[in-house]
Amino acid sequence: MWFFFKTSKQLGIGLLLWLLSGPAAWGQVPGFEWAVACGSAASADYGVGASQLAVDAQGNTYVLGSFAGTITLGGT
């Protein structure tokens, strides 16, 4: 009798956890606000890349990274 109760209890807890995890599985994938390429796959060997990202209270995005050689920022 104890074996049946233990199995039923585990089954009940498992079923409850499965039902509670359902809404999390239906979450939306967030869209990108922006995306910018930085170098190429080969440039990873030369130290080009972003290492930190932060967004302030006004929604401004700050990216911290490093590069070697010449870089052009913006459209000019």
pLDDT over threshold 70, residue 3:
no
- DSSP characters over 7-64: HHHHHHHHHHHHHHHHHHHTPPPPPPS-----S-TGGGGGT-EEEEEEE-TT--EEEE
Domain ranges of the chain: 47-75
CA distance 76 to 57: 28
Q: Which of 3-7, 24-28, 53-57, 71-75 has the lowest mean pLDDT?
A: 3-7
Identify any residues that bridge with 63 across adjacent strands, giving them in sequence order.
53
Q: pTM to 2 decimals?
A: 0.38
